[in-house]
Copies of this chain bind each other. A is one copy, B any other.
Amino acid sequence: MPVLDNFFKSAFTVDNVIFGFDDGDLKVLLIKRNEEPFYNLWGLPGYFVYQDEDLDDAAYRVLLEITGLKNVYLEQVNTFGKVDRHPSGRVITVAYFSLIKIGDYNQFQPASIAEEIKWHSVSKLNELAFDHNEILQACFNRLKRRVRSYPVGFELLPPKFTLTELQHLYEAILEVNLDKRNFRKKILSMNLIVDLKESQEGVAHRPARLYKFDKEKYEAFTAEGFNFEL
Contacts and interface: CB of A to CB of B under 8 A. Distances in A.
A7 B90 CA distance: 11
A54 B78 contact: no
A92 interface: yes
A83 B10 CA distance: 15
A82 B113 CA distance: 25
A1 B94 CA distance: 20
B54 A9 contact: no
A93 to B, nearest CB: 10
B83 A54 contact: yes
Interface stretch (A44-52, A66-74, A156-164): A44-52
A78 B81 contact: no
Chief secondary structure at chain A's binding surface: loop
A183 interface: no
22 contacts: A4-B88, A7-B11, A7-B48, A7-B50, A8-B9, A8-B11, A8-B89, A9-B51, A10-B11, A10-B12, A10-B49, A10-B51, A49-B81, A51-B90, A52-B83, A54-B81, A54-B82, A55-B80, A55-B82, A55-B92, A76-B78, A81-B94
Contacts of A88: 4
A201 B113 CA distance: 69
A181 to B, nearest CB: 24
A48 to B, nearest CB: 4
Contacts of A7: 11, 48-51
Interface residues of A, number: 31
A35 interface: yes
Contacts of A23: none
A216 interface: no
Interface string A84-127: 00001110101000000000000000000100000000000000
4 cross-chain pairs, A with B, having the tightest CB-CB distances, nearest first: A55-B81, A7-B11, A79-B79, A7-B48
